[in-house]
Amino acid sequence: MLYFLRRALHAVFLLFGVSLLTFLFSALTPGNYFDEMRMNPQISPETVAALRAQYQLDRPLPIRYAHWLNAVVHGQLGFSFAYNSPVAPLLWARARNTLLLTVTATFLAWLLALPLGVWSAAKLGRAPDRVLSSATAALLVIPDLVLALGLLILAVRTGRFPTGGLVSVSFDELSVLQKLRDLAMHMALPVLALVLSTLPMLVRHVRASVAEVLNAPFLRAALGHGISHRKLLYSYALRAAANPLISLFGFSVGTLLSGSLLVEVVMSWPGLGPLLLESILARDLYVVIGGVLLSMIFLVGGNFFADVLLYLADPRIRTAASAK
C-alpha cells in the first residue's frame, strides 16, 4: 500500500511541477490575448484595461497562479478568452474525439504487435523475422508527419476516404448502421497513420523481450514436457517477457491524449490537437495550460497504471515493495 502511496505522491508532484513550469513560461511571454485589441482604434484603452483586469492579467504571476490553482482544486481550469467560456468543458468535448481515435489505434496496434513480435522472436534470424525486421525498420525511418501527409495524398487521389472531420454533414439523417459506417470511414485514415507510426516500435519491443526469455532453462524444460509450441510461446514465454511490455503499455495509455496531436492537425480531426494549436496562435493562455495539464494527467496516470499492473503481475515486485 505504501508503494502505491509513494507512486501517487510522485505523480502529484509531477503534475504540480508541470503546471508551475507552464505558468513560468507564460510569465516570459511578451504580449497577451488582448494586445491585438490595443491596436484597434475603436476599442478604448480603458476597455482593454478593464478586460485585462477582469481576467486578472494585470495581477502579478504568483497571485495568478494561486487563483488558478484554487480553481483547479475546485474542478475548473480557468477561462478561455477566445471562446469566452470555461476551459474544462471546452477541452472535454475535444478530448472525447481524441480518445475515440487513439483508443482505437492503440488497441489495434497492440493487437497486431503482440502476435507479430512473438512470431518474429520465434523465428529469430530466419526469413520471416528478417522480412518483418526490415519492414519495421523501413516504417521507423518515415517520420509521422511525412506518413500522415502521404496517406492524405493517397486518400484524395483515390477519393475513397473523406479527408477531415469527425462525420459527414448529413450525419443526422443517416440510419444507425450508416452512421457507424460514416464514422469508421472518417476514422480510417487517422487511425491508420497512428497505427503505422506506433507499430514498428511495439513490434521491436515485443520481439526483443520475448527473444530474451526464449533461451531460459524453464522453457527448455517445458518443451521437454511436450507442451505445444503455441502454448509455450503465448502463455509461458510471453508471461515471462511481460514486464518491459507492461511498462510500454502504460506509456501507450499515457500518450492517449498527446500522441495523436500532429496527426489530428494534419488530418483535421476535431480533437485536442487543432484546439491547442489554435489557442497557441491566439495566445489563449488557459486553454493551452489546461490542454497540456490534461495530457500530463493522462501521461502520469498511464505510468501509475503500469505500476499497478506490474505490481499485480510480478510477485517479485510485490515482495520487494512490501519488504520496504
Partner 1 sequence: MKQRHKLTKWLVVLVALHGIVAAAGFFAPYDPTEQDRERPYLPPMHVHLMDAQGHLHLRPFFYPFRLREGSFDQYEEDTAQIVPIKFFERGTRYHLLGFIPSRLHLIGTASTRIYLLGSDAYGRDQLSRILYGGQVSLLAGLLGAGVTLLLGALIGMAAGYYGGWRDELLMRIAELFLALPWLYLLFALRAFLPLAVSPLEAFLLVVVVIGMVGWARPARLVRGVVLSVKERDFVRAARGFGASDFYLLRRHILPETASVLLTQAAILVPQFVLAEMTLSFLGLGVPEPMSSWGNLLATLQQYNVLVSYWWMYLPALAIVPFFLGYLSLATALQERTSPYKMEEKTSWNLS
Least separation in angstroms between residue 194's CB and partner 1 is: 14
Using CB under 8 A as the binding rule, whether residue 262 contacts partner 1 is answered as yes
Q: How far is the CB of 115 from partner 1 (least distance, A)?
A: 14
Question: Should residue 324 be labelled a site residue for partner 1 when binding is judged by CB under 8 A?
Answer: no
Of the candidate spans 80-88, 165-173, 188-196, 258-266, the one that interacts with partner 1 by CB under 8 A turns out to be 258-266
Q: How far apart are CA 292 and CA 19, in angstroms?
A: 8
Shortest CB 149 distance to partner 1, Å: 6
Number of H helices, E strands in the chain: 16, 2
Residue from 135, 183, 222, 277 touching partner 1 (CB under 8 A): that is 277
Beta carbon of residue 318, minimum distance to partner 1 (angstroms, whole number): 25
Type and span of the H or E element at 102: helix 87-122
Beta bridge partners of 80: 85
| DSSP state letters, 150-211 | HHHHHHHHH--S--SSSS-TTGGGS-HHHHHHHHHHHHHHHHHHHHHHHHHHHHHHHHHHHH
Among positions 201-220, residues that touch partner 1 (CB under 8 A) are 208, 211-212, 214-215, 219-220
- Give the total of residues touching partner 1 (CB under 8 A): 57
Q: What are phi and psi of 118, to 5 degrees?
A: -65, -45
Output phi, psi for 110, to 5 deg: -70, -40
Task: Pick the closer one to partner 1 by CB: 50 or 223.
Answer: 223
Interacting residue with partner 1 among 6, 12, 17, 115 (CB under 8 A): 17
Q: Which of 1, 2, 5, 31 binds partner 1 (CB under 8 A)?
A: 31
Q: Which is nearer to partner 1, 34 or 318 (CB)?
A: 34
Query: Which range of residues in 45-53, 71-79, 298-306, 313-321 is near partner 1 by CB under 8 A?
Result: 298-306
Q: Which of residues 69-88 bind partner 1 (CB under 8 A)?
A: none
List, in order, residues 6 or more apart from 233 with CB less than 8 Å away.
118, 122, 210
Residue type, position 52, single letter: R
Please, which residue, 67 or 130, has the CB nearer to partner 1?
A: 130
Reduced to 3 states (helix: H, G, I; strand: E, B; else coil), residue 266 is helix
Start-to-end CA distance of the chain, whole Å, equals: 11
CA angle 260, 263, 267 (to 5 degrees): 135
H helices present in 214-283, as ranges: 217-224, 229-231, 238-240, 242-254, 261-266, 272-282
Binding site for partner 1 (CB under 8 A): 14, 17-18, 21-22, 25-26, 28-31, 122-125, 140-143, 145-146, 149-150, 152-153, 156-157, 163, 208, 211-212, 214-215, 219-220, 223, 229, 232-233, 255, 258-259, 261-262, 265, 276-277, 280-281, 283, 288, 292, 295-296, 299-300, 303
